Amino acid sequence: MEKISHDDFYLVIGKLAVKLKFICEEQLQEALLILNARKRAGQQLFLGEIMVLIEMLSQSQLDFLLSAQKIISLVLVRLTTLSRSKTRPLFLRQLPRQHSKPDRYQAKS
């Protein structure tokens, strides 16, 4: 599984905002340009803060997006944990394992 960087979490907020039609793709690109310019100037701001500061989002929309982002990150952590687990999770244990005999599902002569 590909490792997710801190910068990817900026994009989660941005992509969610676009997906939910809070902003359009062009507004996201504009906010990312502002964010990068502020980073170069030594300011430590988050993408959501930028979008609220320039009035692309309301504070309540940002709060909603942050909650959704937290849920997404928890799901990703859980999926990563499951993929590394040596034991099958309960919901997978209820499914049949692949059988090692390749002829099992072939018609008998």
Q: Confidence band (pLDDT; 50, 70, 90) for 92?
A: low
Q: What is the reported pTM?
A: 0.62
pLDDT value, residue 99: 46
pLDDT value, residue 2: 43
Give the rounded percent of residues in the chain with a pLDDT score beyond 70.
64
- Tens of pLDDT, residues 23-74: 999 999 999 999 999 999 999 899 999 999 999 999 999 999 999 988 887 8
Q: What's the chain's average pLDDT?
A: 78
**Three-state secondary structure of the chain:** CCCCCHHHHHHHHHHHHHHCCCCCHHHHHHHHHHHHHHHHCCCCCCHHHHHHHCCCCCHHHHHHHHHHHHHHHHHHHHHHHHHHCCCCCHHHHCCCCCCCCHHHHCCCC
